[in-house]
């Protein structure tokens, strides 16, 4: 059925393009031609393009014109049917570390939420997600937490720590670290210079792809004002600019450009990235936020499609001051691994949009967090005291680990925090004298000095303010005063984060979970920490945990690509 739907879509596209070609014989050519764009219904004329934009448009016109000719002369080829070509990076969970050998843990923060929504998509289909689709820290950081607010913008986030018994392993403890960024007042927010990079290739023709992209972008446009500007770039077999920089209050013009997009062709995503960054740089606003937003299923198959080349490209571009947002859509050929590469290396954030409700969360309810960065290159380092802690492991953040020496190196890239964002990290520790996974060493250092003997660990956080190259440092000890004797007495934020962490580990079949720990345990702990739940996100989580419990008896979704990697 899917194959027939795609064939019909391609036939319709070919008919439409042939008609457009016939009409163009008697009319003046439009400034930009693209196989995915039909003429606008008499919108106001765009402003004259800059020299750079004119050059890019000329290249796009020639390339896309060739694609249109091919469509008119070639019958549509069969598309793959039910073949699952989704791609996830193969990642093992973080190991157990002995404090006597390796007392320091260093990682980059992660505020992405793509894994949570993608995991929900699988569960709503009645099946468990592939293990590598589950990034536990993204599940935890999907939610808002009641952490204390920072005092000023000079130190853009506060820190809070709670140590509590582990709910899934007797004798172990959780160290819960929370960071809360300050929020911005809407009237004080800087202007946005947005370049929307939209995938209109043939793979985007399904209802949960390009149509949902257009709905999502409309939701974003409705929040813009006259100080903001929007450009639109599309890519299929070639890339082209379809909307020059347009003031955010000209919503009709922007929405008309969006609603004239249609899917068809291959996927020159790399070329689209080049053009989007070129336009963003050409129209750079030194007093605003400059951001490229790419919406795609990640299936780049024409031009630059090597992940390493794309990684190098976005790494170079992050020095221009242009941020990147990556929005994933659809299923069947969703390339999660590539999306993560783009987001992590381009000063970016990543989300997966499976429903219009998720689009509302990302582009409306959490717009400030996802658009306005308050701290760059945020790194966390924890040094554990061997006199108090025997072993530790970091739950999640497997793709964000850094070397110890990276912490003080301001040239090493790390994650960004947006306005109002909360970041949560959880370590599981084994106190000295507890049941460890490893045998103790025969030859160890002497105990800690009396002045630090009461400390479990020492927390360090590095960050840069936007526009600055030199990092700042926050430090604090983690002591017995942070300990709560019973998890049921722990703060609501700690209990909720622990419940979500247990859920993520169950989905990944984490070998460090106690045998017998179940989704029922997750649900009980989460029920005690629902709080006000303004948007219903926590209520939905409880339902997803129940769905996972039902799906646990079914086969896990497989990533059916060569090599069988999940």
Query: What was the pLDDT predicted at 562?
Result: 34
Which of 55, 59, 68 has its CA nearest to residue 24?
A: 68
Q: What is the mean pLDDT of residues 525-530?
A: 97
Query: What was the pLDDT predicted at 68?
Result: 30
pLDDT (tens digit per residue) in 52-61? 444 444 444 4
Q: What is the mean pLDDT of residues 176-202?
A: 93
Q: 392: which strand partners? A: 97, 429
Rounded CA gap, 560 and 566, in Å? Answer: 8
Q: Order the strands of the 389-394 sheet from edge to edge.
A: 97-98, 389-394, 422-431, 173-181, 157-165
Contact between residue 326 and residue 342 where contact means Cβ atoms under 8 Å apart: yes
Nearest-Å Rg of the Cα atoms of the chain is: 25
CA atoms within 13 A on the CB side of 347: 24
Which of 173, 59, 156 has its CA nearest to residue 376?
A: 156
DSSP run (H or E) holding 391: strand 389-394
**Please, what are the domains in the chain?**
2-78+186-371 (3.40.50.410), 97-184+372-433+454-551 (2.60.40.1230)
Rounded CA gap, 251 and 496, in Å? Answer: 40
Query: What was the pLDDT predicted at 17?
Result: 36
Buried residues in 441-457 as b, exposed as e (16+ CB within 10 A): eeeeeeeeeeeeeebbb
Query: What was the pLDDT predicted at 272?
Result: 87
pLDDT (tens digit per residue) in 441-499? 666 555 555 567 789 999 999 999 998 999 999 999 999 999 999 999 999 999 999 99
Q: Could you tell me the CA-to-CA distances from 410 to 320, 405, 413, 468 in Å, in that order?
A: 17, 10, 8, 11
DSSP run (H or E) holding 431: strand 422-431
Least confident stretch, 31-35, 102-106, 135-139, 204-208 = 31-35
Contact between residue 546 and residue 519 where contact means Cβ atoms under 8 Å apart: yes
Query: What was the pLDDT predicted at 265?
Result: 75
The pairing of strands 229-235 and 239-247 is antiparallel
3-state secondary structure (DSSP) of residue 244: strand
Query: What was the pLDDT predicted at 359?
Result: 97
Q: What is the mean pLDDT of residues 137-143?
A: 98
DSSP E strand stretches across 215-337: 229-235, 239-247, 289-296, 323-328
Q: Does pLDDT of 65 surpass 70? A: no
- 223, with CB counted inside 10 A (0-12, 13-18, 19+), is middle
Confidence of residue 386 (pLDDT cuts 50, 70, 90): very high
Q: 261: which strand partners? A: 37
Query: What was the pLDDT predicted at 445?
Result: 54
Rounded CA gap, 469 and 488, in Å? Answer: 43
DSSP run (H or E) holding 382: strand 373-384
Phi then psi for 498, rounded to 5 degrees? -65, -40
Query: What was the pLDDT predicted at 29?
Result: 33
Query: What was the pLDDT predicted at 147?
Result: 96
DSSP run (H or E) holding 53: helix 51-73
Q: Could you tell me the CA-to-CA distances from 305 to 66, 95, 121 in Å, in that order?
A: 21, 32, 26
Q: Does pLDDT of 364 surpass 80? A: yes
pLDDT (tens digit per residue) in 398-408? 999 999 999 99
DSSP run (H or E) holding 193: strand 192-199
Q: What is the mean pLDDT of residues 304-331?
A: 87
- Looking at every residue in the chain, the average pLDDT score rounds to 83
How many helices and strands in the chain, by DSSP H and E?
14, 16
Confidence of residue 435 (pLDDT cuts 50, 70, 90): confident
Query: What was the pLDDT predicted at 533?
Result: 94
């Amino acid at each position: 059925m899917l194959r027939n739907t795609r064939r019909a879509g391609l036939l319709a596209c070919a008919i439409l393009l042939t008609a457009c070609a016939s009409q163009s014989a008697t009319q003046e050519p439009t400034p930009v031609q693209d196989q995915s764009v039909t003429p606008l219904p008499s919108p106001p004329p765009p402003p004259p393009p800059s020299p750079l934009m004119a050059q890019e448009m000329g290249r796009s016109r020639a390339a896309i014109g060739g694609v249109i000719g091919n469509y008119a002369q070639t019958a549509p080829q069969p598309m793959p049917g039910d073949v699952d070509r989704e791609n996830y990076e193969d990642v093992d969970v973080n190991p157990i570390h002995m404090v006597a050998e390796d007392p320091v843990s260093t990682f980059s923060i992660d505020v992405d939420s793509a894994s949570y929504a993608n995991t929900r998509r699988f569960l709503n289909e009645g099946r468990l997600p592939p293990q590598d689709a589950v990034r536990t820290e993204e599940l935890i950081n999907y939610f808002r937490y009641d952490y204390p607010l920072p005092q000023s913008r000079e130190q853009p986030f506060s820190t809070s720590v709670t140590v509590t018994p582990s709910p899934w392993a007797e004798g172990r403890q959780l160290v819960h670290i929370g960071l809360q960024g300050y929020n911005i007042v809407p009237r004080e927010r800087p202007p946005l210079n947005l370049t929307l990079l939209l995938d209109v290739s043939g793979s985007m023709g399904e209802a949960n792809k390009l149509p949902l992209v257009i709905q999502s972008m409309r939701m974003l446009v409705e929040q813009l004002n006259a100080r903001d500007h929007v450009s639109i770039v599309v890519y299929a077999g070639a890339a082209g600019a379809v909307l020059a920089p347009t003031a955010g209050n000209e919503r009709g013009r922007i929405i008309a450009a969006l609603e004239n997009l249609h899917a068809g062709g291959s996927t020159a995503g790399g070329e689209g990235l080049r053009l989007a960054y070129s336009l963003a740089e050409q129209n750079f606003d030194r007093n605003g936020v400059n951001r490229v937003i790419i919406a795609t299923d990640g299936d780049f198959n024409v031009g630059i499609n090597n992940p390493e080349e794309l990684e190098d490209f976005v790494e170079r571009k992050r020095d221009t001051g242009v941020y990147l947002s990556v929005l994933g859509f659809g299923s069947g050929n969703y390339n999660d691994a590539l999306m993560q590469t783009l987001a992590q290396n381009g000063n970016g954030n990543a989300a997966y949009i499976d429903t219009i409700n998720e689009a509302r969360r990302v582009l409306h309810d959490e717009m400030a967090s996802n658009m306005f960065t308050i701290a760059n290159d945020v790194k966390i380092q924890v040094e554990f005291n061997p006199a108090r802690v025997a072993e530790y492991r970091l739950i999640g953040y497997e793709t964000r680990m850094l070397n110890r020496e990276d912490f003080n190196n301001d040239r090493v890239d790390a994650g960004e925090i947006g306005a109002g964002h909360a970041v949560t990290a959880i370590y599981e520790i084994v106190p000295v004298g507890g049941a460890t996974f490893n045998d103790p060493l025969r030859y160890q250092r002497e105990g800690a000095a009396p002045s630090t003997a009461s400390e479990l660990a020492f927390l360090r956080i590095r960050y840069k303010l936007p526009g600055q190259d030199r990092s700042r440092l926050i430090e604090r000890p983690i002591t017995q005063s942070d300990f709560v004797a019973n998890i049921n007495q722990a703060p609501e934020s700690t209990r909720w984060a622990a419940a979500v962490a247990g859920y993520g580990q169950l989905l990944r079949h984490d070998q460090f979970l106690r045998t017998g720990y179940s989704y029922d345990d997750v649900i009980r702990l989460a029920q005690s920490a629902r709080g006000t739940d303004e948007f219903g996100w926590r209520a939905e989580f409880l339902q997803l945990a129940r769905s996972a419990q039902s799906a646990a008896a079914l086969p896990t979704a497989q990533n059916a690509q060569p090599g069988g990697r999940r």
